[in-house]
Structure 1
Amino acid sequence: MIRFIITRLLNGVVLLFAVATIAFFLLYWGAGDIARQILGASASQETVDLKAEQLGLNEPVFSRYGEWLSNAIHGDLGASWFTNQPVTEAITSRMGVTLSIVIGTVILTAIVATILGVSAARYGGWRDRTLQVVSILGLAIPGFLIAIFLVRIFAIELGWLNATGYIDFTDSFTGWLKSVTLPIIALSIGAMAAVAQQVRGAVKDAMRQDWVRTLRSRGISENRVVYKHVLRNASGPALAILALQFVGLLGGAVIVEKVFAIPGIGQISVTATTQGDLPIVMGIVVFTAALVVVINLSIDLLLGFVNPKVRLS
């Protein structure tokens, strides 16, 4: 297991390096006149040229990449071209907001999707047909439409939850819960549909196996067979799709945070991309890639814990 973890970590480092390298050249090779964009149209050409020199935009892209990589290895991802705020500080101050929403979404998705998927696979009939219809609708309807609908009903009409803004957990638990409930539900709908379908298929396949009939013949209760044995053996595909959903939710958070005016990583991503703040964009790429590596490794370890058959010696 130790060897497996070390191998995956090394693979993750290689992946992180490849993603950062490709992203850097894609961004900086076609950066355009960033200095003019920063200073505005009224700035003189001399001032623009001086700003470009200060930012190192006159240097060859390979030289800039070497300098950026050297600094990044030492934990320095540069500073914003527009605010001079360190990139690491700008991202970490907002990453907690986004992760609180994404992690809440994953937990809610895992619980509800497991219940729906197991119920559809176990009982079939109208439960199965209902899941199929709901899954199609959940995947077809855009997340921002669901978000707008939830705001209209639960925030504006009923006044139960906050329509916009974010309250930190440390300031008020109730306020935090009210500010993240609607974004979590809006993000969860599509993810639930995908995960529930995967759980349904995996549970149905497992329930057809001979060992399930053997367990039943021994007089073990159906609930114990399903929730202790079948669900554990069907956990592999469900955990895999849940990991993919986690990564996808980071992208979906961009739109949802915009709708709910939440100061998370999605909001700063949109702002930095629109302005052409390349250090911030690069920092987001690096942080996201590192997060994906950690999530994939965590899912592999969790799968080995849940299902002994896939454990590595």
Structure 2
Amino acid sequence: MLIFIARRIAAGVLLLVVISLLSYLLLSIPGTDVGRQLLGQGASQSAIDAKNASLGLDRPVIAQYTDWLSHAVRGDFGTSWFTSEDVTQAIANRLPVTVSLMLGVTLVTAVVSFLLGVWAGVRRGAVDRVVQVLGVVGYALPGFLVTLVLVLVFAVRLNWFPAIGYVPFTESPGDWLSTITLPVLALSVASVAGVSQQVRGAVVDVLRQDYVRTLRARGLPASRIVLRHVLRNASAPALSVLGMQFVGLLGGAVLVEQIFALPGIGGMTVTYTTRGDIPVIMALVMLTVVGVVLINLLVDILIGWLNPKARVA
């Protein structure tokens, strides 16, 4: 298992270096005059050139990247070109919001998807058809439409939850839960629809295996067969899809954070990308890649624990 984990970590580090290099090269493509954006259209060309030089933009791109990487590995992502705010601190202030959403959606998706998928795969018949229809509808509904309906019904008409804003967990756990409930539900609909179908298909495939028929012939209770054997073997593909859903949630978080006025990473990404603020963008890219690597590593470890044969892959 240790060799298995070490290989995954090495691959993750390599991915970080490759993605950071490609991202920096793409962001450095000529076309955006940062100095002119900072000083305004009325600034003289000499002042603009001096500003670009002070930011190091007059040097070759590879030299800029090497300098950035040498600081990044020490945890120093510099300061924003446009706000002069420390990049690490700016992200740290917004990260708890997005992490709350991601963890909430992952928890809801895992619990509801496995319940629906196992229920449909075991019961089959009408239950299976209903779950499949719900899955297709949930996956096909536009995310913005689901979000707006939740706001209109539960925030505006029923007044059960706040329509906008965010309260940190450290200030009030109850208010924190109320502010993330609707955003989490909005992001969970499509995730539950996709993962539940994967769980359902995996459960059906496992139930058709010969060893399951043998267990039934021995007289083992159906609940024990499902919980101890079927669910364990059906979890691996479902965990892979759940990991991919977690990564895909970052895109949906941008829309949800904008609608609910949440000060998270999604809105920050849009704002600083349109400005071309490379220090902030690079830090956000690295944060995203690290999140992807960690999630994939966790999923691989869980799959390797559930299925030892996967460790040799």
Aligned to 1:61: 61
Q: Distance in 2 between matches of 1:42 and 1:190?
A: 48
Matches of residues 278-289 of structure 1 in structure 2 within 5 Å? 278-289=278-289
Aligned to 1:266: 266
Say if 1:235 and 1:307, in contact at 8 Å, map to a contact too: no
Q: Distance in 1 between matches of 2:149 and 2:40?
A: 39
**TM-score, structure 2 length as denominator?**
0.95
After TM superposition, give the deviation of residue 42 of structure 1 in Å: 3.5
Verify: 1:168 aligned to 2:177, yes or no: no
Aligned to 2:153: 153
Aligned to 1:13: 13
Range 158-167 or range 218-227, more displaced: 218-227
Residues 246-297 of structure 1 show CA distances to partners (whole Å, capped at 9, x for unaligned) of 1111221111111111011101101101222111111111111111111111
Range 128-137 or range 299-308, more displaced: 299-308
Aligned to 2:194: 194
After TM superposition, give the deviation of residue 309 of structure 1 in Å: 5.2
Q: Distance in 1 between matches of 2:233 and 2:30?
A: 49
Q: Distance in 2 between matches of 1:273 and 1:182?
A: 27
Aligned to 2:27: 27
Matches of residues 228-247 of structure 1 in structure 2 within 5 Å? 228-247=228-247
Q: Distance in 2 between matches of 1:311 and 1:219?
A: 33
Range 117-126 or range 203-212, more displaced: 117-126
Matches of residues 62-81 of structure 1 in structure 2 within 5 Å? 62-81=62-81
Identity of aligned residues (%): 50
Matches of residues 95-106 of structure 1 in structure 2 within 5 Å? 95-106=95-106
1:193 aligned counterpart, secondary structure = helix
Q: Distance in 1 between matches of 2:80 and 2:112?
A: 41
Call closer, same or farther: CA 1:309–1:217 in 2, change over 3 Å.
farther
Say if 2:36 and 2:43, in contact at 8 Å, map to a contact too: yes
2:113 aligned counterpart, secondary structure = helix
Q: Distance in 1 between matches of 2:311 and 2:286?
A: 30
Q: Pairwise CA RMSD of aligned residues? A: 1.6
Verify: 1:221 aligned to 2:221, yes or no: yes
1:234 aligned counterpart, secondary structure = helix
After TM superposition, give the deviation of residue 17 of structure 1 in Å: 0.3
- AA aligned to 1:49 is D
After TM superposition, give the deviation of residue 13 of structure 1 in Å: 0.4
Q: How many residues align?
A: 313
Matches of residues 132-143 of structure 1 in structure 2 within 5 Å? 132-143=132-143
Aligned to 1:208: 208
Say if 2:136 and 2:193, in contact at 8 Å, map to a contact too: yes
Verify: 1:300 aligned to 2:285, yes or no: no
- AA aligned to 1:272 is Y
Q: Distance in 1 between matches of 2:163 and 2:85?
A: 29
Say if 2:118 and 2:203, in contact at 8 Å, map to a contact too: yes
1:255 aligned counterpart, secondary structure = helix
After TM superposition, give the deviation of residue 311 of structure 1 in Å: 5.3
After TM superposition, give the deviation of residue 310 of structure 1 in Å: 4.1
Gaps of 5+ in 1: none
Aligned to 1:255: 255
**TM-score, structure 1 length as denominator?**
0.95
Range 198-207 or range 23-32, more displaced: 23-32
After TM superposition, give the deviation of residue 308 of structure 1 in Å: 4.9
1:29 aligned counterpart, secondary structure = coil
Call closer, same or farther: CA 1:308–1:61 in 2, change over 3 Å.
closer
Range 22-31 or range 169-178, more displaced: 22-31
Gaps of 5+ in 2: none
